[in-house]
Amino acid sequence: MNCWEFHRCGREAGGDRVAELGVCPAYPDHGQQCFRLVGTFCRGKVQGTRATKLMTCLRCDFHRSLQGSQD
């Protein structure tokens, strides 16, 4: 599963929020690595630098699910 499917953010190509927020930089090639990219949409807003989004990603259910699958 990719982040845009998990979160239903609407920022995938053709999504319902693309006109407002643009296509997410995680789409289509980084749907399981969104934590590595700036400009993703998390917790209701576009995220900034990797340093500032780190805590958001660590609390993210999607990110946690990926960490659990790597064990």
pLDDT tens digits, residue range 3-57?
A: 999 999 999 999 999 999 899 999 999 999 999 998 888 877 888 888 888 888 8
How many Cβ atoms from other residues are within 10 Å of residue 35's Cβ? 22
Please tell me whether the overall predicted TM-score, pTM, comes out greater than 0.85 for this model: no
ω before 25 within 30° of 0 (cis)?
Answer: no
Q: Give the whole-angstrom CA distance, residue 52 versus residue 38.
A: 9
pLDDT band at 70 (very low <50, low <70, confident <90, very high): low
Rounded to a whole number of angstroms, the distance between the first and last alpha carbons of the chain is: 17
Q: Minimal CA–CA distance to 9: which of 29, 31, 37? A: 31
- Position 50 scores a pLDDT of 83
Measure the CA–CA gap between 16 and 45, rounded to whole angstroms.
15
pLDDT at 71: 42
